[in-house]
Amino acid sequence: MIPFVKMHGLGNDFVIVDDRDGAFALDRATRQAMADRRRGIGCDQLLVLEKPNNGHGDVFMRVYNPDGGEVEACGNGTRCVAALVMDEGTKDALGVETVAGILASTRNPDDTVSVDMGEPRLRWDQIPLAREMDTLSVDMTYIPYSDPVAVNMGNPHIVFFVDDAEAVPLEECGPVLENDPLLPERANIEFVSKNPDGSLRMRVWERTAGITQACGSGACAVVVAATRRGLVDRKARIHLDGGALDLEWREDGHVIMTGPTAFSFRGEWMQ
């Protein structure tokens, strides 16, 4: 039996397995089965907690997409894991270690969690893109959408700015754009429009997971892309299908994401 916790950040949902004792070593088929919404528990990502490396950080978080493959980052998942581990003790601040680095996480008085998601990488070969180009004007089109911005937040994101994000046929263009030949590691795809009050509306097609209610690393990529395009001044409230996140791309280059976390249930997976 593998005990798990189900949590979500704005409806972006996670199965979290605590493997800090190294007891489970979940193979790819098991990860896939647990994430399967029809036959398993179901989630957008499976998060596995491990011991931190050499005392760096308080916990190590591995992120797996629903196909069982490991990915580098998960913003909403980091907030959930930080909240879960904070609940074990008395600390309101800790470091969540990931393959992309240690993410400093803090619980705020209103119970939201803020995570320092680190610095975006903006060179074409850091996204990565298949050939050299300006990441502020990427040569990618799905008529009538074109000219997106590319940002790597540990994982790759392609951000399209459009007049009306609600009108985008995301279920049609998401899979095509995710698999564009320009993207050797594929990418998460965001469509964004600016609201009259200055906030942003974002819809997301996550790499492998498809349409999700929210994507934290995607929201980080969006505040960076919108700042580079002159649409916001380093800060933005971003409205996703599942609710809002507050983002800041600080002058020191780090992106800070703030939002809620929610516990759903605990259970046990029978192998």
Angle in degrees, CA 30, 33, 38, rounded to 5: 170
Q: Tell me if 65 is assigned to a ligand binding site.
A: yes
53 has binding-site annotation: no
Active site residue 43: no
**H or E stretch including 194?**
strand 188-194
Q: Which of 43, 80, 215, 220 is catalytic?
A: 215
What is the x/- site pattern for ligand LBFN2T5F, positions 95-134, by CB under 6 A? ----------------------------------------
Element (H, E) at 80: helix 75-86
Does the footprint of ligand LBFN2T5F cover residue 76 (CB under 6 A)? Answer: yes
Residue from 155, 193, 258, 261 touching ligand LBFN2T5F (CB under 6 A): that is 155
Shorter beta-carbon distance to ligand LBFN2T5F: residue 97 or 206: 206
Cα angle 129-133-138, degrees, rounded to a multiple of 5:
75
Q: Please, what is the angle between helix 75-86 and helix 216-228, to 10°?
A: 130
71 in contact with ligand LBFN2T5F (CB under 6 A): yes
**Residue found under tokens 């996550």:** 206
Residues with Cβ within 8 Å of residue 205, at least 6 apart in sequence: 170, 173, 174, 175, 177, 178, 188, 189, 190, 211
Q: Name the active-site residue from 43, 74, 80, 220.
A: 74
SS3 39: coil
Q: To the nearest 10°, the Cα dihedral for 217, 220, 221, 226? A: 160
Q: Which is nearer to ligand LBFN2T5F, 18 or 178 (CB)?
A: 178
45 annotated ligand binder: yes
* Cα–Cα distance measured from residue 42 to residue 271, given in angstroms and rounded to the nearest whole number: 15
Q: Is 74 in the site for ligand LBFN2T5F (CB under 6 A)?
A: yes
Q: Which of residues 105, 152, 188, 193 is near ligand LBFN2T5F by CB under 6 A?
A: 188
Identity of the residue, 208 or 251, whose beta carbon is nearer to ligand LBFN2T5F in the bound complex: 208
**Nearest-approach distance from CB 220 to ligand LBFN2T5F, in angstroms:** 8
250 secondary structure, DSSP code: -
Q: By CB under 6 A, name the binding residues for ligand LBFN2T5F.
A: 12, 44-45, 65, 71, 73-77, 155, 188, 206-209, 215-218
Catalytic residue positions, numbered: 74, 215
Residue numbers in the known binding site for substrate are 12, 45, 65, 75-76, 155, 188, 206-207, 216-217
